[in-house]
Amino acid sequence: MEESNHEGSAEKFFRDFGKKFDQFLVEAKDASTRVEADLKKKFEELQVAADKFKNDAENKERWKEVEASLKKAGEELNNAVKAAFKKGQ
């Protein structure tokens, strides 16, 4: 009888262990799903920030070109005005 009691305890232990292990697997899967979702969200946020940074950098370069062109046009206009008044005198 003692031997069957021992076998019953072992069966109960493994049954409880199996249930706890199954629960652990479910919780681990849920946790990995949450982590994956969080990582995807952070990755998307980083992509948006990178695109914004790229656009800002490109816009700054474009505005540098516009500024240089306007400066050159202003110098040419200044030279044209000086030439027009010089010839008129």
Residue 2 has pLDDT above 60, yes or no: no
Residue 20 has pLDDT above 90, yes or no: yes
Residue 16 has pLDDT above 60, yes or no: yes
Q: Letter for the amino acid at 39?
A: L
Tokens of 54: 């790229």
Residue 74 has pLDDT above 80, yes or no: yes
pLDDT tens column, 35-57? 888 889 999 998 988 888 888 88
| pLDDT (mean) for 53-68 | 86
